[in-house]
């Protein structure tokens, strides 16, 4: 057993210089200088209510906000709140910087439609 773990560690160390390193700059003002073995990825976080395609309560009782993904251009969704007997309980996605505007707009639209 110990021999297997030693061989696995050697294999990982042998291939580690070939691993690519990705750096995101979603929260930085200026992109940093990219090294030869790095990939710079910028994430668009300028979502707002106009990106929302539909808001629904899914089969698992979560408020799901469907929106147009600015990176891929395809429809995507995020679960923003759990629908309970006492009302909507926000999920962690409702606090993330990228999805917070979508969740806020989706929750507001749902509350307005159900009042």
Domain ranges of the chain: 2-41, 49-114
The string of pLDDT tens digits covering residues 102-114 is 999 999 999 998 8
pLDDT of 82: 96
Contacts of 38 (CB under 8 A, 6+ apart): 20, 21, 22, 23
- How far apart CA 22 and CA 106 sit, in angstroms, is 31
The string of pLDDT tens digits covering residues 21-75 is 444 444 444 555 656 666 655 555 677 788 899 999 999 999 999 999 888 889 9
Contact 55, 110 (CB under 8 A): yes
């Amino acid at each position: 057993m110990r021999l297997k773990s030693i061989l696995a560690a050697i294999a990982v160390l042998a291939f580690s210089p070939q691993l690519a390193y990705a750096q995101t700059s979603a929260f930085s003002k200026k992109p940093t200088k990219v090294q030869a073995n790095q990939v710079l990825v910028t994430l668009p976080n300028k979502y707002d209510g106009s990106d929302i395609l539909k808001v629904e309560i899914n089969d698992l009782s979560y408020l799901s906000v469907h929106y147009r993904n600015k990176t891929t251009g395809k429809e995507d969704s995020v679960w923003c709140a759990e629908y309970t007997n006492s009302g909507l309980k926000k999920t962690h996605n409702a606090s993330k910087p990228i999805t917070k505007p979508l969740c806020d707009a989706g929750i507001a639209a749902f509350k307005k439609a159900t009042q």
